[in-house]
Amino acid sequence: MQVVVKGGIAQVSIAGGMLVPPVWNLDDAPSGGSERAGGSPVLVESDLERCFEDLQLGYLTAVFSVPGVLQYKQMLTVSALSTVVNKLDDPIVTSATTGMILCEVTTPAMIPIVFTSDPLPFYQVTFTIAFAGQTTVNTQ
The domain locations on the chain are 8-58+71-101+121-131
Query: Computed from CA positions of residues 39, 41, 42, 48, in that sequence, does the dihedral angle turn out positive or negative?
Result: negative
Q: Which residue, 65, 62, 66, 70, is CA-closest to 22? A: 70
The rounded mean pLDDT for the chain is 87
- pLDDT > 50? residue 28: yes
Q: What is the pLDDT of residues 71-108, one digit of tens each?
A: 999 999 999 988 765 556 778 888 999 999 999 999 99
Per the model's pLDDT, the better-predicted residue between 70 and 115 turns out to be 70
Residue 40 pLDDT level (bands cut at 50, 70, 90): confident
What is the distance between the alpha carbons of residues 140 and 137, in angstroms, rounded to a whole number?
9
Bridging pattern class, strands 122-131 and 56-61: unpaired
